[in-house]
Structure 1
Amino acid sequence: MFEIIKAGGWVMWPIILCSIVAMAIIGERFWSLQRRLVVPKGLVPQVWKWVKEDKLDKKRLAALRSHSPLGKILAAALVNRNHDREMMKTSIEEVSNQVVHDLERYLNTLATIAEVSPLLGLLGTVTGIIRMFAGIGEVGLGNPTVLSSGLSEALITTAAGLTIAIPSLVCYRYFRGLVDELILLMEQEALKMLDVLHGEREP
């Protein structure tokens, strides 16, 4: 493996750095964007039970806020539960923007890696070809080692760049779709809670 990296030249090092960052982001997002952590099942009925039994104090609101992204949205609405529906809806929208930002954390970085990695591979291709022609200029066409070293640098960096870019792009698209799905679920749950509190929906 080290010999392949060495043959790829200095461009391999930023490509390897991109791969490490991409793997870290993908692992972290797979863990953080689990549905059970973002939109816990049964949270809305539990909150409604607290409201109905008049047990929704500051301590429970603080626990709800730190419980999950959905909990943070519900807590924002419940803090203003004595106000009208529009005020509660505005509070939900304000906190939702922050929650969406948290759910999309690192995704721009992952998209950047997906775009930059093939360009780094292309840069390696160019430097490999330059090295190959420089070698030809020095020793002529009689030494196949000079040709093979420049050509291997070009091919290795191109392959390495694409190897990082393809899974990064696939994961980025997957996470974007997952975030959109989770946002929709949270909005539905929050509106359900809103309707129940204002008597527009059965608990």
Structure 2
Amino acid sequence: MSFLQDNLVTDSLNQVQQQAVQLAPAVEDQNLIQLLMKGGWIMIPIVILFFIGLVIFIERYITIRNASKSDGNLMAQIKSNVLSGKLDSAIAVCRSSNSALARMLQKGLTRVGRPIRDIEGAIENAGKLEVSRLEKNINILGIIAGIAPMLGFVGTIFGVIQIFREVEIAGGIDIGTVSGGLYVKMIASASGLTIGILAYIGYHILNMMVERLILKMETEAVEFIDLLDEPGV
């Protein structure tokens, strides 16, 4: 009896090893795209959200970075021309720079001769317009950060519903089918959460860049107004 039991245990172990060897190549052969596609149809909108967020982040990052590039001589040239009474030359300097700060100061230069309050209002309005241009589409990243995880959870829920429906039809629970199905459906949740986190990070990175630029523009605007308050201007 002991001999027969040993043979049965040995045969069982051999069968398990053979099954593991057969399953291992199938798992190893799966690439990332094939693994993601196992998440079901819900992966299509999740992937679309990923590419939309990526395009928006890259485009806004480049735009804000270019707008943040500082011309160290800009304010010095404007100050020199204003103190010399050469307003046209100061406006020409702003036009040649073609940056958010230069366009804002140019709007103030065109109002020189009017009350300071009018000049401040013109600069403030121009600054708001520039900030609105910089913040364009950034809120979409915030929307993606909220929607992507929810889509992932929806995919998982539909997957669980499908698994229990198959169990009901089969009339019994196969732990391999249930665990395998859950493994596949959890891909949707993992993908949605990952894309949501990336979109959330990108959203705050761009907002921080815009805030730094706003602070810089406000500082230069105050310096420009102080310049106009100097005697002889």
User: TM-score scaled by structure 2?
Assistant: 0.77
Q: CA deviation at 1:81?
A: 1.0
Which residue number in structure 1 is paired with residue 75 of structure 2? 44
Q: Which runs of 5+ in 2 are unaligned?
A: 1-31
SS of residue in 2 equivalent to 1:56: helix
SS of residue in 1 equivalent to 2:112: coil
Q: Is 1:197 paired with 2:232? A: no
Q: Provide, for residues 106-159 of structure 1, a one-character-per-residue CA deviation record: whole Å limited to 9, x for no partner.
A: 111000000111101111111111111111112234555642453134210010
Tell me if structure 2 keeps the 8 A contact 1:11–1:157.
yes
Q: CA deviation at 1:61?
A: 6.9
Which residue number in structure 2 is paired with residue 131 of structure 1? 162
Q: Distance in 1 between matches of 2:180 and 2:40?
A: 10
Tell me if structure 2 keeps the 8 A contact 1:39–1:70.
no
Q: Distance in 1 between matches of 2:98 and 2:59?
A: 18
Which amino acid letter does the alignment assign opposite residue 96 of structure 1? G
- Tell me the matched-pair count: 198
Q: Distance in 1 between matches of 2:145 and 2:160?
A: 24
Question: Which deviates more, 67-76 or 136-145?
Answer: 136-145
User: TM-score scaled by structure 1?
Assistant: 0.87
Q: Provide, for residues 22-65 of structure 1, a one-character-per-residue CA deviation record: whole Å limited to 9, x for no partner.
A: 1112212221222x63352322112223334416259727725x
Which residue number in structure 2 is paired with residue 56 of structure 1? 88
Q: Which runs of 5+ in 1 are unaligned?
A: none
Tell me if structure 2 keeps the 8 A contact 1:128–1:154.
yes
Q: Distance in 2 between matches of 1:3 and 1:16?
A: 13
Q: Distance in 2 between matches of 1:55 and 1:181?
A: 29
2:201 to 160, 170, 183: 170
Q: Provide, for residues 170-194 of structure 1, a one-character-per-residue CA deviation record: whole Å limited to 9, x for no partner.
A: 1212222221221111011011012
Which amino acid letter does the alignment assign opposite residue 2 of structure 1? I
Matches within 5 A, 1:17-96: 17-34=48-65, 37-38=67-68, 40-42=70-72, 43-53=74-84, 54=86, 56=88, 60=92, 63=95, 67-96=98-127
The runs of at least 4 consecutive aligned structure 1 residues that moved more than 6 Å come to none
CA 140–44 in structure 1, closer or farther in 2 if over 3 Å, else same:
farther
Q: Distance in 2 between matches of 1:61 and 1:140?
A: 81
Cα RMSD (Å): 2.3
Q: Provide, for residues 71-93 of structure 1, a one-character-per-residue CA deviation record: whole Å limited to 9, x for no partner.
A: 11101111101112111000011
Question: Which deviates more, 40-49 or 14-23?
Answer: 40-49
Identity of aligned pairs, percent? Answer: 29
